[in-house]
Amino acid sequence: MHNRPAFELLHDPFLTKGTAFTEAERQEHHLEGLLPPTVETLDEQVERVLNQLDRWDNDLERYMHLRAVQDRNRTLFYRVLTSDPERFLPLVYTPTVGDACEEFGHILTRPHGVYLPVTSQGRVKEILGNWGSRDVRFIVVTDGSRILGLGDLGASGMGIPIGKLALYTTCAGVPPELTLPITLDVGTDNEEFINDPMYAGLRQKRCDDDTYYAFVDEFVQAVQDLFPECCIQFEDFSMNHAAPLLAKYRDQVCCFNDDIQGTAGVALAGIHAACQAKGESISEQRILFLGAGSAGTGIAELIVESICVETGMPREEAMTHVRLFDINGLLVRSRTDLAPFQQPFAAEAEPCDDFVEAIRSFKPTGIIGVSTVHGAFNEQVIRAMGEVNARPLIFPYSNPTSRAECTAQEAYEWTGGRVLFGSGTPMPPVEHKGRTIKPSQGNNVYIFPAMGMAIFATGARHVPQEAFLTAAKSLAEQVPVSYFEDGMLYPSRAEIRAVSLKVAGAVARTLDEMGLNRHKAADWDARIAELAFVPEYR
């Protein structure tokens, strides 16, 4: 092509400025005539995108529009997102990304990221090497097996790594050119997708476990060979694989699982904030879980570690500060139906299959709902918590909202406004003491982008549990004291970037103190501010 360099400059999403190329740049790079004559500022371009978004009828269309902007011009995309994170995060990630994944085969336009099909076993490194850059520092990878609450979406799960990485950049400034979304296409058991002519993944059943683990192992090794400073974030893997993969790789390579560790971190932050609100120590808390699955046991484990680290309490004693209650009742030693990951949480207590009774006997300071049972925190449960606590912690963490154990309005109403509240999904505003309160949501987005930025800045070799303990503490310290009176436990999402950078700084210091950093800095806050991607044309 005659004018290839100009064409490439205009169409490279990391280099283009579109209509913001100046007259001088247009002359220098032979771009004259390839753009309309008006030279615009970045903010004028943002204005146009905002106007275009207003023309669409629904959020999936707005998602598709934003994805197209992302593919075209990264600076503009991130300028739009950072201009109003509260408005745009739900459009590029949950809840809209769930609809996008379900429709992924139908709305697919430009491919983005890397697809590694299980049929390429033995050639994973070669295929991963097809990615255009040798400097990749952050991968979000899914196998599409448990996409949000939607189940097995196979290769259509790719919307999740793409969306999640956009949050890493928007919230904490992880440079987008160093990130890579990946889907391990190991087949799908979703018959509807296999029979859909528009489905873009492998049309075969999920592979057996031996093939699966060998394939993931080949992938992890290929990442080490090609991108030695890269962190792998496992995302939306079904629990039967997520836990063993994390256990296998967490001490071997730089990786973490946000569903397990990020969730635990954000819940622990809510408990720390509640402790600040009550003027109590974490060692004075007793937490009862409704639900003893991956989320419940993951959060319980981090709470126990936090109590041990903060107060020096022996682990055995710290374990008595958490109790879990599942579909068959309280987890107690005499039960014979507990899975190995639940057994450490079996309490030395009488069997009990009534949650209210469990509250009356354990007298928890907080209850966390991770049961997926809508309405399980009913009036009796919440009033029982109000009877044994001046300020009960009530965290209905199940999502989507249709699964939440209670609404914010109920929690405020049935405790006479004394509740310290955190939900897993956004809840409508609550009328409380003549004011309208936005209930706080314990969203992982307060943790994982900051974790990513800290890992990138330090070049961490591993991601220890201490990093999540620090992130939780730092997040809680940033909740304005004025929020506590209204029962709110998390900072405003409008402040997410400033909050995330502070959390990242704190985590970086922990990684440094533990000697896990490849890079050094005298002042990690300053180093992180320097490294953070700012959406501006250079």
The residue at minimum Cβ distance from ligand NAD is 293
- CB-CB contact of 374 with 399 (8 Å): no
Minimum Å gap between C-beta 388 and ligand NAD is: 20
Q: How far is the CB of 279 from ligand NAD (least distance, A)?
A: 27
Cβ at position 139, least distance to ligand NAD in Å = 21
Query: Site map for ligand NAD, 88-107, x if CB under 6 A?
Result: --------------------
Interface residue with ligand NAD, options 233, 389, 444, 478 (CB under 6 A): 444
Q: How far is CA 58 from CA 55, 91, 100, 156, in A?
A: 9, 10, 12, 20
The residue with tokens 């599409």 is 144
Q: How far is the CB of 422 from ligand NAD (least distance, A)?
A: 9
* Choices 4-12, 21-29, 396-404, 500-508 (CB under 6 A): range interacting with ligand NAD: 396-404
Q: What distance in Å separates the CA atoms of residue 525 and residue 116, rounded to the nearest whole number? A: 36
Q: How is residue 441 annotated by DSSP?
A: B
The interface with ligand NAD within residues 299-338 (CB under 6 A) comprises 325-327
With tokens 């406004």, the residue in question is: 417
Residue span binding ligand NAD (CB under 6 A) among the ranges 75-83, 161-169, 248-256, 286-294? 286-294
Question: Interaction with ligand NAD in 18-77: which residues (CB under 6 A)?
Answer: none
Beta partners for residue 213, in sequence order: none
Burial class (CB in 10 A: 0-12, 13-18, 19+), 130: exposed
Please list every residue from 223 through 262 that binds ligand NAD, using CB under 6 A: 239, 259
Residue placing its CB nearer to ligand NAD in the complex, 370 or 451: 370
Told to judge if 93 belongs to the known catalytic residues of this protein, a careful annotator would answer yes
| Burial 235-266, CB ≥16 within 10 A → b, else e | bbbbbebbbebbeebbeebbbbbbbbbbbbbb
Number of residues in contact with ligand NAD, rule: CB under 6 A? Answer: 26
The CA-based angle 353-357-358, given to 5 degrees, is: 75
Q: Two tokens at 440?
A: 């706080």
Burial of residue 495, with CB atoms counted within 10 A of its CB: 0-12 exposed, 13-18 middle, 19 or more buried = middle
Q: Which of 291, 392, 396, 452 binds ligand NAD (CB under 6 A)?
A: 291
Distance in angstroms between the alpha carbons of the first and the last residue of the chain: 27
Q: Which of 263, 306, 415, 474 binds ligand NAD (CB under 6 A)?
A: 263
Sheet with 138-142, edge to edge strand ranges: 114-117, 179-185, 138-142, 231-234, 255-257
Query: Which of residues 20, 268, 288, 290 is near ligand NAD by CB under 6 A?
Result: 290
Distance CA 219, CA 229 (A): 15
Catalytic residue among 17, 63, 78, 93: 93
DSSP state string for 184-225:
EE-----HHHHT-TT--S--SPPPPHHHHHHHHHHHHHHHHH
Which of 321, 323, 403, 502: binder of ligand NAD (CB under 6 A)? 403
Segment interacting with ligand NAD, rule: CB under 6 A, options 78-86, 154-162, 197-205, 393-401: 393-401
Nearer to ligand NAD, 239 or 349 (CB): 239
Cβ proximity to ligand NAD, 295 vs 384, nearer residue = 295
Estimate the crossing angle of helix 294-311 against helix 465-477, to 10 degrees: 80
Helices 465-477, 263-278: inter-axial angle, 10-degree rounding: 40
Residue 487 found at the interface with ligand NAD (CB under 6 A): no
Strand order in the sheet with 366-369: 329-330, 322-326, 287-290, 366-369, 393-396, 420-421
Instruction: Calculate the alpha carbon distances from 219 to 127, 179, 180, 182 in Å.
Output: 10, 16, 14, 10
* Comparison of 113 and 426: residue with beta carbon closer to ligand NAD: 426
Q: How far is the CB of 259 from ligand NAD (least distance, A)?
A: 6
| Min dist. Cβ of residue 120 to ligand NAD (A) | 30
Contact with ligand NAD (CB under 6 A) among 42, 207, 295, 489 = 295
On whether the CB atoms of residues 18 and 39 are closer than 8 A, the answer is: no
Instruction: Out of 13, 85, 176, 424, name the contact with ligand NAD by CB under 6 A.
Output: 424
Would you say 218 or 258 has its CB closer to ligand NAD?
Answer: 258
Taking the complex as a whole, the smallest distance from the CB of residue 443 to ligand NAD amounts, in Å, to 6
Residues 6+ away with beta carbon under 8 Å from 484: 273, 276, 277, 420
CA 266, 268, 274, 277 torsion: positive or negative? negative
Residues of span 138-157 touching ligand NAD by CB under 6 A: 149
* Beta carbon of residue 242, minimum distance to ligand NAD (angstroms, whole number): 9
Residue among 17, 164, 473, 502 flagged as catalytic: 164
Piece of the chain touching ligand NAD by CB under 6 A; list 15-23, 115-123, 365-373, 430-438: 365-373
Q: Which residues bind ligand NAD (CB under 6 A)?
A: 149, 239, 259, 263, 266, 290-296, 325-327, 370-373, 397-399, 403, 424, 442, 444
Residues marked active site are found at 93, 164
